[in-house]
Amino acid sequence: MRKILVTGALGQIGSELTMGLRKTYGNDNVIASSRRVKEGHETLMESGVFEIVNVTDAKQIAEVVKKHKVDTIIHLAAILSAVGEQKPHQAWDVNMNGLYNVLEVAREEGCSVFTPSSIAAFGDSTPKDNTPQDTIQRPNTMYGVTKVAGELLCDYYYHKFKVDTRGVRFPGLISYETLPGGGTTDYAVHIYYEALKNKKYTSFIAKGTKMDMMYMPDALEAITTLLEADSSKLVHRNAFNVTAMSFEPEEIAASIKRLIPEFKLDYDVDPARQAIADSWPNSLDDTAAREEWGWNPKYDLDAMTKDMLEKLKIKLGL
């Protein structure tokens, strides 16, 4: 049975992944960590072990790994794209020094590491449609720069030190559980809340802007499936393209309107986030993930919309 440390466990991915992992591996075998306590996460923090860990402090990571005899680190702590452009120095510190610290502890203690990359690892010069697994990566955001460097660093630690590193390039992630934390694709979460509460939404992303997206249950399945995949079959260890759907703001609005006919969408474009979105792919080629470890998403846009609205109605008491 694995002993897993999750960094960034109170974030958008971590808050759901941690609870899912505890169902699979047992509450005592999944150690949640965050740099601080957050209100609204009491269930997660009380359902198993919770530790305060700032990933920029290698000593803190090492102490928790040794204390709980951790053999697997799922490293999610990161500054996201929109926030990263406002605070590039902090984004570099958390995203790069944090990952380096995790990899060093993993090397010293014999841990395997899963850490996600992102579609932000691509840039304007990357092919936009059906973006290949192996292609040019020249991002123009600090977040993207750290993701490309992180992919290479994880590859280095596998080849140089035999650390079992694995990862995927996530698209925008959509969840009813936890609000996103400052990414460019956040509109695709907020739109569902506003559809239920106000029957209208003002998008900060322009009409016609396609971006790859994924519903959180598929993202969690991707992590757990890759975590348990046969190492000998993995060619692209640290940066598998994974995708489930690609849509424009008006397409998600149309999906919502099928269930809430009075819903209306308008636009007030945020130039900073729009520039980031314009530099990203429209759609990804995830053939390598399908062939090497059996990736197969379950949700398309309409299936996700139906489930999101049903779950949010309960959450919001509507």
Active site residues: 143
Q: Which of 38, 58, 62, 59 is closest to 50 using CA atoms? A: 38
DSSP-based three-state secondary structure for 178: coil
Distance CA 172, CA 169 (A): 10
The enclosing H or E element of 168 equals: strand 168-170
Is the CB of residue 31 less than 8 Å from the CB of residue 66? no
Helices and strands of the chain, counted as H and E runs: 13, 14
Phi, then psi, of 286 in degrees rounded to 5: -105, 30
In whole angstroms, give the CA distance from residue 42 to residue 47: 8
Using alpha carbons, select from 57, 279, 54 the residue that is nearest to residue 184.
Answer: 279
